[in-house]
Structure 1
Amino acid sequence: MTVDVYTPLALSVLLAAISPVVGRRVAPALAAPVLTAAAAVSAAATVWSLVLLAATLLDDAPPVVAEARAAGHPIAEPVPEVIGIAACPALALIAHRLWRAVRAEYTTRRALRRLCAGQPGDSELVVAASPVPRAFAVPGSPGRILVTAGMLRALEPAERRVLLAHERAHLAHRHAFLVTAASLAFAANPLLGPVRDQVAFLVERWADERAAAAVGDRATTARALARAALTAGRAQPSCGLGFTDRAVTRRIAALQSAPPPHLRSVAAAVLALGALPALGAADATGDLLRLLAHIVP
């Protein structure tokens, strides 16, 4: 346990370091779900490792100490006591971060759904009478595309088709779920911030590629993206899956080159890396259970 319990933290740093490379080399449709899955497993393993560290304080509980001494069993220290004590406020902080992340997600979804309220059940497109250029994919049942009048006025007819194809891709491939999962993983493990950012970028790249395929013109897709970004200017970033943010310059450059390949071997390696923290946490759990069984037969 003295080593395995720390592996989720170490491997989270490694996952965060390689995520930009994976994002550049692997097709977004493959890289985004792979990184999200790896981050979710790593975050869960990290939280469980903290629980195990806090659980090592059980061998200092007076009833446990008295019973172990009466049975003639030595009390081993799997980790320094100060680390077990530090794990307790760390778990409390993680719980607070997760609560804030869930509340923010709920508030955002509720606000977007409220803007779409009153529309016919089969209406996919909702146009808001706002001069501020914005576009959102609003997940739900049914999913909707919320676009402001200011955005529609800024785009030419072909560019509007790109916009709608982009937002439809967000809905069809459940990008909101991936972004939410990566955000919750970051809330549970702040070391995974680069992975969260990379997933947010990749779902936009994924939607760009799907839009380019739908309209059959990568140049038009790049031009629509550039025009939308210029129209939006330096307004505050939107709270939904926006069409006008997420490193627009990089996205335009990617559309001006060939789509990246599906390097499944790299994706498999990332998934394996994401599974290692879970294996380390499982092994540490077994070590702790054997220790407690030895103390209190």
Structure 2
Amino acid sequence: MRQTLTHCTSLAFGAGLLLAGSTSLVQATEGGVSSWPMGIEIYGMGVLPPPGTYGQLFVGNYMADTLRDNAGDKVADIDLRVTTLVPRFVWVTEQQVLGGNLGFHALLPLNDIRLNIKDGPHEHKRGLGDAHLGPVIGFHHSDKFHTAMGVDFVVPTGGEYDKNDLVNLGTNYYTVQAVYAMTYMDPAGFNADMRLMYDYNFENQDTHYQSGRELHADYTLGWGLGNGWVLGIGGHAYKQVSDDQCSAAHCAAAAAVEAADGNRGSSFSVGPAVQYASKDGWFLSAKWQDESGVRNRADGQTYWLKFTIPL
């Protein structure tokens, strides 16, 4: 099997950090979260495997202790912990489209979310998050250079949503995400990956809040040791490229969004990343990343494990 699966899971953390009790804590994109868990992808982002079926299991843990505003200043001390378990199914067909192999994927995350605000309220929820599914086309330009493109659809299947709760298991709105990924890999040399994504978020019908459009990328750089191991670094870069929209006639957060110049978010992360590819065709990868340059979002650290196996 070629390197790890592309168009990798669009699982949401599902942590609808809706600090609705105080307009001063309203964050970019509704609740300060996105449908894509930033930096989840590791090596092989642009490589679609040969035709067949594949299973993946992701285990993630996000921990944040600070909520930052539009200037990057701390506005609250928090204890946010999001643990995610995500089974994912991938089917790569024999069908050729535009000279590449056509594939499909689907997943449904299981989330455990705990939020404590210092000297304030706390909440804990556990259950299903938002479903993700979509097509992907993979191209193999050489043994070392690969690209892929696709579209992900995020469906609000998360547990019962309540706009007055501190956290929710899903976003309660649809998202369409365009994806373009590239990989250069050498089992005994330089490795580089980037997955570029552009998100369009639809309106949350319960709150009449529409999160702005988002541009972000996961990346890795590494060196193959020639024995199945790749060692290096990875992370993400994120920038919200349009304002949140919230009508004053229907939305309690409208004044706060306008005061924060559209409530746009941004962040960057980096940390160590490692992968092992077995001779039997399975892959195990892990990473840790620390966030910086955070605006209008929670500021924290993430741990990820990913296991891939042909079925």
TM over 0.5: no
TM-score (norm 1): 0.22
Q: Larger Rg: 1 or 2?
A: 1
| Structure with greater helix percent | 1
| Structure with greater strand percent | 2
Question: Which structure exhibits the higher relative contact order, with contacts defined as CA atoms closer than 8 Å and separated by 6 or more residues?
Answer: 1
